[in-house]
Structure 1
Amino acid sequence: MPVERIDPRVDAIVADGADWEELGRGFGGPTGPAEGPVWIAEGGYLLFSDIHNSRRMRWSPADGITIDKEDTQNGNGQTRDREGRLVVCHHFSRCVDREEADGSVSVIADKYRGMKLNRPNDVVVKSDGAVYFTDPPPKVPFTPPEHPPEIDCAGVYRVSPDGARLNMVVRDLINPNGLCFSPDEKILYVNDSNQHRKLIMAYSVEADGMLDLGSARLFCDMRADTRVGGPDGMKVDVAGNVYCTGPGGIWILSPAGEHLGTILMEGRTSNMNWGDADWRTLYFTGSRTLNRIRLEIPGVPVPRGALPTSLSS
């Protein structure tokens, strides 16, 4: 499908004639979706979540799509920390955990003030090692019906780099979903995928990693567009442009929040991440598919920066 070009600045991001390629389909149940793509640079492959089949999938140029892990407790968003370890949000176990190189798993967060989290959805790791994740309300079939909510709001959380403190940094969104940092990590973008809101908020990040809630501003409002889709996964490129799933496909937004264009896709687009050796391929998931498109500006690599020899947890 063609790229919708709203502003001529999008030509420097998506080359004329560029189109996306489907790499595989058939993931998820009737409600889908595939989710949580993350590129493993040293292995040259992509991992992504097949939520409702509770498994993690792998795509590589040589082998195509294979099963990487079964019984992921409906794993959803995932990323990597400074050591390259996989950090995963789980719906059924209602936690965020980390997988070590030997395959062992440790829980990063599962309770806030003694109350079980709702349904961790998406996650990012700051270059200092702090983990930020969204926790929308419980929702069947994403979470079991026998797990009633214990927390009276949907939050955005921060786990300190040493793993000792869990803070709720945003509590006034209805359905917080995707999140990402600006390239300099001075802004945290968080979207609200509630069907009546469909917006992206921007928050200034303070020196201690907490958010300046007084700085909260509306970055993008998608409600006027009635096409299928809404805000979900979100990433940035090295120039500060923001990419967010939205009505019609993937919206490309300038650092000022201007809608430059849309990578068009039929049906819902769920999440995305950068990959390949030059970080210029955008891999993205749909309701039942895995896809990719080559872009002109590289994305911010995952993990960010150099990999240290150790990380206190």
Structure 2
Amino acid sequence: MSPAALSRRSLLLGGVTAAGLMGTRARAAAPAPLAQPPSVVSNPPRQWGPQAPAPYLPDPDIIALDPSFSNLVYGNANIRLAWRGGDWLEGPAWSTQGRFLLLSDTIRAQQYRYLWETGTVSVFRASSYNSNGNTFDAEGRLISCEHGMRRVVRWEHDGSCSVLADRYQGAPLNSPNDVVVHPDGGIWFTDPGYGDTIVEGHPDAPGGRANRMGRERWTEDGEVVAQFAGHARQDDHVFRIDPHTGELRAVLTQQQLAGPNGLCFSPDGTILYVISSGAGPGQDGPGGDQRIHAYDLKDGDVRNGRVFADMMLDGHQLGPDGMRADIFGNLWCGAGGPLGLCGVVVYSPAGRMIGRLRLPRGVSNLTFGGPKRDTLFMCAADALFTLVVNTQGAGLS
């Protein structure tokens, strides 16, 4: 199978079974011990959770591939399992004003809040319409991508909800995936068709990419499902919402970049990075090329597109999903792949892989947070991992 044909979700889940992480999900705030054996990626095998023995220092799963990476990590910090719960965690975003981390559960269609002071997790929004990517703008307002309602929304300070985008050229969007705010206030988001599945949003219509045989019912009772299920409405796009007029404009088409997924900006806002992911769950046919692409920005337009990183490690094609930049311009990217290779990979501004964090499962999305923005939060299926680093996140979230 070619790398382009691999499913993004299968790559992210590549190490789960072998790592013995398929035990009963923990619904309580406190993390539950993982099934044995907990991991085979460290020697001796690593255990996770509050009852695990004290981990070794320096952490054997923090791997420097270049001497420069040692300046970005803190030698006395360990990768930590902070919480297990939910089904599929995505869209971590740090609220500076609230001092909490917001998380999406795309399968349960809920949002969670991780409190910095206590490390406890509670339901933040009981019905989020299969939200995925989240970010906070400069005013502290939450912006969310909703698969189920095919829209991007902003939650105002008075509790009201503003719809920022739900249609393009007269047709509904697909399933907005990831969202970031540029320093100029422009809101950028990706709109692949990954929400056209039973699990993550709205079942695809008969004959669609995720329901070619037409056996999945997409007209079940319920106003939201009946209204929003069906074929993907658009080609895949990367969109920009103008901060002054609210105009929605496509800056990249499916022909220019297939399968757009995670995106972020360089610290100075002059470069846009976009991940091209593989086909979504249940979707037949080719997806993106599973690479990170870079574009120069000028006045809200993209130019000089090029491959920034091929996401190859030890001869294996990793599956990138979400990423964030630190203040030095390094890219921290969540990746799925074979057990022992999956986790987080870090690239220098020149596109050289300089280090990685080895986890027992692939990481879908990540962000920097904490009062100093020096804690890396990593979403990996139903688990949230953290690591204190010697750098800080760039941008708003």
* Whole-angstrom CA distance in 1 between matches of 2:246 and 2:98: 31
1:111 aligns with 2:167: yes
Instruction: String of CA shifts for 1:79-133, please: whole Å, max 9, x gaps.
Output: 0112110000010101000001121101001111011111100000112211000
Q: Which amino acid aligns with 1:57?
A: Y
Instruction: String of CA shifts for 1:35-54, please: whole Å, max 9, x gaps.
Output: 11111122221111111111
**Residues 198 and 221 in structure 1, CA contact (< 8 A), matched pair in contact too:** yes
Q: Looking at CA atoms only, which structure, 1 or 2, has the larger radius of gyration?
A: 2
- Note closer, same or farther for the CA distance 1:163–1:249 as it changes in structure 2 (3 Å cut): farther
* Whole-angstrom CA distance in 2 between matches of 1:175 and 1:231: 11
Aligned-residue sequence identity (percent) comes to 36
- Secondary structure of 1:143's aligned partner: coil
Q: Which amino acid aligns with 2:344?
A: I
Moved over 2 A (4+): 15-19, 223-229
Equivalence for 2:232: 149
- After superposition, residues 27-176 of structure 1 pair within 5 angstroms as 27-28=86-87, 33-60=88-115, 61-62=117-118, 64-138=120-194, 139-140=196-197, 141-145=199-203, 146-151=229-234, 153-171=235-253, 172-176=256-260
Q: Which amino acid aligns with 1:50?
A: D
Distance apart, 1:229 and its partner CA: 5.4
Choose which of 345, 352, 367 in structure 2 pairs with 1:258: 352
- Secondary structure of 1:10's aligned partner: helix
Equivalence for 1:16: 75
Choose which of 377, 382, 391 in structure 2 pairs with 1:288: 382
More strand by share: 1
* Whole-angstrom CA distance in 2 between matches of 1:104 and 1:229: 40
- Secondary structure of 2:68's aligned partner: helix
- Secondary structure of 2:70's aligned partner: helix
* Whole-angstrom CA distance in 1 between matches of 2:315 and 2:276: 16
Alpha-carbon RMSD: 1.7
Instruction: String of CA shifts for 1:282-311, please: whole Å, max 9, x gaps.
Output: 1111111112101101111426xxxxxxxx
* TM-score, structure 2 normalization: 0.71
Q: Which runs of 5+ in 2 are unaligned?
A: 1-59, 204-228, 280-287
* Whole-angstrom CA distance in 2 between matches of 1:155 and 1:50: 23
Deviates more, 1:229-238 or 1:69-78: 229-238
Q: Which amino acid aligns with 1:66?
A: S
* TM-score, structure 1 normalization: 0.90
**Residues 229 and 269 in structure 1, CA contact (< 8 A), matched pair in contact too:** no
Instruction: String of CA shifts for 1:210-234, please: whole Å, max 9, x gaps.
Output: 112xx00100001455669521111
- Secondary structure of 1:217's aligned partner: strand
- Secondary structure of 1:27's aligned partner: coil
